[in-house]
Amino acid sequence: MTALTLTTFNWVPDIPRGYVRDIRVRWALEEAGLPYRVASVPFDARNAEHFAHQPFGQVPWLTDGDISIFESGAILLHLGQLSDALLPSDPRRRSAATEWVFAALNSVEMASLPWAILRFSGDGEETPGRKRMDAFLKGRLQHMEPILAQREWLAGGFSIADIAMADVLRLVDRFDGLAAYPACRNYVARATTRPSFVQAHADQMAHFAAADQAMSAD
């Protein structure tokens, strides 16, 4: 097997810690038990090499031998091809897990991320824009709720679909957006108590804490 390297920022402010998208990749790697190393790029000075790997100047990206992949969804699909623990080999279940990765990112996160941005924009709760984005997210969550009440995981056993969906929903939960959706909350709790998530989260927090120590030692 070729070496897997996950690249993330060397440091981020406190608020995004624990929520930087490298956690999706760490989680998958821990879940599959795949060996990997972590590399860092400067948060404050994004250079041409960074943009060559990630054209929007964000993180994470993954290198696997001579292939470099950005977009957490694409990385999850790539890792899924390396391990049945992440993506089932049965064609129907594999197709189901793949479509739910897209649903997490393109149907739910497309509503939840702008909702989170607007929530902290300073606009009043009753502005038309806030109300439309609240309704957009509600339209997604009200359909996820009965699905997650009936299923332990989205596509048979635990898969990359659950890494994507649980990570998207846990940001909504952080800002109290799941209060009316107990099945969604229970799903987030189910997913984030897995040892693979606990390890991935601790590793991300330790990675950024180490940067604080390095800076204070300068």
- Residues in contact with a second copy by CB under 8 A are 51, 55-58, 66-67, 69-74, 77-78, 91-92, 95, 98-99, 101-103, 105-107, 109-110, 113-114, 117-118, 121-123, 127-130, 132-133, 136, 139-140, 143-144, 147
Q: Do residues 172 and 19 make contact, with C-beta atoms less than 8 angstroms apart?
A: no
Rounded-to-integer distance, Cα 28 and Cα 203, Å:
13
Please, which residue, 93 or 190, has the CB nearer to a second copy? 93
Residue 178 gets which letter from DSSP? T
Shortest CB 115 distance to a second copy, Å: 9
Please, which residue, 45 or 206, has the CB nearer to a second copy? 45
Shortest CB 106 distance to a second copy, Å: 4
Please, which residue, 32 or 69, has the CB nearer to a second copy? 69
Please, which residue, 85 or 97, has the CB nearer to a second copy? 97
Shortest CB 216 distance to a second copy, Å: 31
Two tokens, residue 158? 């635990």
Q: What DSSP letter does each residue of 18-68 carry, written as one string?
A: TTSTHHHHHHHHHHHT--EEEEEE-SS---HHHHHH-TTS-S-EEEETTEE
- Collapsing DSSP to helix, strand or coil, 193 comes out as coil
